[in-house]
């Protein structure tokens, strides 16, 4: 089984890539979705967040207050590390288990979307065979984030400043997908990559 990481900075368009892969019938493990699930009501990380950060970071519906946590962790690096300890460890463990389950089922190609793949140290245990990096120009990224997350430019800048620059990620990646054009152009690029992937394996 070939396991391919889909990564890229915030607003680069990773979801557009994974949505298209899913529409083509490919299996995708979305660690961003997993992060939302474990911090939602009754999620695996809620008790940790309540114990470490306090009840004020839990909404009335039992989920994590994402806005409040976001402001906290981008102001305090130690708080960011504490949050990651209670969430990232769970996601890594669950992801490894899912990869092995798909391997046992005989799946040929598996994609794993990991937004902060390089920021979290990359593949230290050789779980992944290839890395596809999604990039986009800054103007488009900011526009996408504003529309999706309703964040102001100051918070967007803080988030981006915490992430590795694309130029450094490109050196470490097997494939770079430029996503500053139309959705049709993006789909054609992915189709070409999938064709080459099947031809060479």
Structure tokens at 183: 């959705």
The number of angstroms, rounded, from the C-alpha of 155 to the middle of its chain's C-alpha atoms is 18
Number of structural domains the chain divides into: 1
Cα-based torsion angle of the residue sequence 184, 102, 87, 51 in order, rounded to the nearest 10 degrees: 140
C-beta of residue 57 within 8 angstroms of C-beta of residue 68:
yes
List the CATH number of the domain containing 6: 3.40.50.300
Residue pLDDT tens, the chain, 201 long: 999 999 999 889 999 999 999 999 999 999 999 999 999 998 999 999 999 999 999 999 999 999 899 889 888 888 888 998 889 888 988 999 999 999 999 999 999 999 989 988 777 667 899 999 999 988 888 888 888 877 788 888 888 888 889 999 999 999 999 998 999 999 999 999 999 988 776
Give the distance, in angstroms, between the CA of residue 124 and the centroid of all CA atoms in the same chain.
Answer: 17
Range of the domain at 121: 2-199
Are the beta carbons of 6 and 14 closer than 8 angstroms?
yes
Do the Cβ atoms of 17 and 190 come closer than 8 Å?
yes
Predicted structure pTM score: 0.87
């Amino acid at each position: 089984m070939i396991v391919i990481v889909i990564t890229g900075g915030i607003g680069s368009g990773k979801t557009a890539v994974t949505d298209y892969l899913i529409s083509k019938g490919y299996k995708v493990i979305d660690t961003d979705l997993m992060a939302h699930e474990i911090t939602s009501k009754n999620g695996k990380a809620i008790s940790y967040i309540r114990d470490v950060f306090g009840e004020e970071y839990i909404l009335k519906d039992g989920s994590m207050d994402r806005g409040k946590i976001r402001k906290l962790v981008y102001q305090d690096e130690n708080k960011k590390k504490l949050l990651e300890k209670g969430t990232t460890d769970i996601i890594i463990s669950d992801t490894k288990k899912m990869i092995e389950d798909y391997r046992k089922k005989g799946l040929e190609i598996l994609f794993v979307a990991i937004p902060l793949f390089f920021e979290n140290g990359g593949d230290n245990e050789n779980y992944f065979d290839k890395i596809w990096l999604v990039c986009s120009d800054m103007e488009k990224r900011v526009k996408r984030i504003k529309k999706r997350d309703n964040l102001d430019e100051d918070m967007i800048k803080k988030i981006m400043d915490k992430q590795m620059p694309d130029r450094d990620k490109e050196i470490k990646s097997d494939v770079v997908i430029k996503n500053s054009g139309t959705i049709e152009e993006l789909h054609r690029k992915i189709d070409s990559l999938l064709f080459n992937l099947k031809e060479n394996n």
